[in-house]
Structures are given as structure tokens and as C-alpha cells.
Amino acid sequence: MQNILTAVLTGLASALVVVGGYQLLIAGPRFAKLRAIVDQHDQLLGGGAARATDRLSALERESAGIVAARDAELRRVDALEKTARLELPRVGFIRFNAFSDVGSDLSYALALLNRDGDGVVLSSIYSREETRTYGKAVTAFKPAQDPSGEELAAIEKARAAAT
């Protein structure tokens, strides 16, 4: 009888240890999380439905403000992209001798183009008696008038420039 009583007490003690461990390791943290959720719920609805409606209204106003700010930023980006298309990031410059009796590469061709290849190519022809300057419109990397070899070289140099 003594052995049975000892076995029962040992079994009960083991069961108490297992239940205590379960309570400490599993149930306790889960109850704490549940308590935090219930507290948050009570805090949100603490004033009843009116408080929840006020909170939702505040969230909707905040969301509308964020949407308005995003739309303003999108308009700003569009304006900047339009401006960037007009800038001249492609530049090609070639110096050359237009005449064999004039040295020092005093003549030049200068291509100023935007990203789409639109712009102008300017040429300056230097001789001992005079200097002449010519300008030609360029669309999609093609000059409107017949180009010289130097003007074509300046356009190709501008086309190869970093974008």
C-alpha cells in the first residue's frame, strides 16, 4: 500500500511539474498576447462606436493627405522630366583645318543635342581673310541641311556622349 501511495504521489508531483511547465512556457505567453490584444481592442472601442468612428475618420483624413502629397510629387516629377528632355546633355565638338594653308585647327563643328537627338550643329570655318559661322537644325541626330563630314562627326560624338 505504501508503494501505491508513493507512486500516486510521484505521479501527481510529475503532473504538477508538467502542468506548471506548460503554464509557464506555453499558456502564459499566449495569455499575455491575448491580454494585449484585448487591451488594444478596449482602447480603440473604449468610447464605444463613436470613438471607433473618430479613429476611422482620422485614418481616412491621413490617407487622403498622403494621396494628395503623392499626387503633388507625381506632378513635380512630370515637370522635371519635361525639363530634362529639353536639356542638352549630348555635346560633340570637333576641331579641324578647313583649308590647307591655315593651321592650328581653328575651324570647328559643335553639336548641342538633347537626349532625343534634337538640337543644333554649329560650324565655324576659319580662313586667313574671314571667319564664317553656320548653324543647322538637327532632329533625331539628322541635320536639316546637307552636313559636312566634320558636322556629322560632331553629331556622332554627341550621340555617343553619356546620357
Residue 163 has pLDDT above 60, yes or no: no
Across the range 18-30, mean pLDDT stands at 79
Across the range 63-68, mean pLDDT stands at 91
Across the range 82-92, mean pLDDT stands at 81
What are the pLDDT digits (tens) for 123-151? 999 988 889 999 999 999 999 999 999 99
Q: What is the pTM of this model?
A: 0.50
What would the 3-class secondary structure string for 69-127 be? HHHHHHHHHHHHHHHHHHCCCEEEEEEECCCCCCCCCCEEEEEEECCCCCEEEEEEEEC
Domain boundaries, the chain: 2-83, 90-160
Residue 89 has pLDDT above 60, yes or no: yes
Q: Which helix (H) or strand (E) holds 137?
A: strand 131-139
Across the range 81-94, mean pLDDT stands at 83
